[in-house]
Amino acid sequence: MSLQTEIIQFLLAGITVGSIYALIALGFVTIYNVTGIINFAQGEFAVYGAFIAITAFQKSRLLSGNWQVALEWPLPAAALVGVVITTLVGILLYRLAIQPARRASILSMIIITIGAAFVMRGAALLLWGTDPYRLPVFTPGPPLKIFGAILTRQSVWVIAVTAVLLVILYWFFNRTLTGKTLQACADNPKAAQLMGISPQRMALLAFGISSAVTAIAGIVIVPSTFMTYDRGLTLSLKGFVAAIVGGLSNPAGAVLGGISLGVLESFGAGYLSSGYKDAISFIVLFIVLAVRLGGFLRRRGSAGERAGL
Name which of 34 and 75 has its Cβ closer to other proteins: 34
Beta-carbon neighbour count of residue 63 at 10 Å?
12
Residue closer to other proteins (CB basis): 3 or 107? 107
113 or 152: whose CB is closer to other proteins? 113
Least distance from other proteins to the Cβ atom of residue 119, Å: 4
Q: Which CA distances in Å does 127 have to 60, 123, 224, 278? A: 10, 6, 22, 27
- Least distance CB 273 / other proteins (angstroms): 8
Cα separation of the two ends of the chain: 54
Q: How far apart are CA 63 and CA 40, in angstroms?
A: 25
**From CA 17, how far away is CA 155, in angstroms rounded?**
9
Nearer to other proteins by C-beta: 46 or 79? 46
Cα(284)–Cα(260) distance, rounded to whole angstroms? 11
Here the contacts of 268-274 (C-beta below 8 Å, separation 24 or greater) are 270/6, 270/10
What is the binding site for other proteins (CB under 8 A)?
38, 40, 63-66, 97, 100-101, 104-112, 114-123, 125-126, 129-130, 177, 180-181, 183-184, 186-188, 190-198, 233-234, 237, 240-241, 244, 273, 275-276, 278-279, 281-283, 285-286, 289-290, 293-294, 298
- The residue (of 233 and 259) whose beta carbon lies closer to other proteins is 233
Residue 288 C-beta: closest distance to other proteins, Å: 10
Q: Point out which residues pair with 67 in neighbouring strands.
A: 62
Question: Strand pairing of 149-151 and 144-146?
Answer: antiparallel
Cβ nearer to other proteins, comparing 256 with 303: 303
- β-sheet bridge partners, residue 62: 67
We find the least distance from the C-beta atom of residue 41 to other proteins, in angstroms, to be: 9
What is the Cα–Cα distance from 266 to 302, expressed in whole angstroms? 31
Least spacing, CB of residue 124 vs other proteins, in Å: 10
Q: How far is the CB of 70 from other proteins (least distance, A)?
A: 19
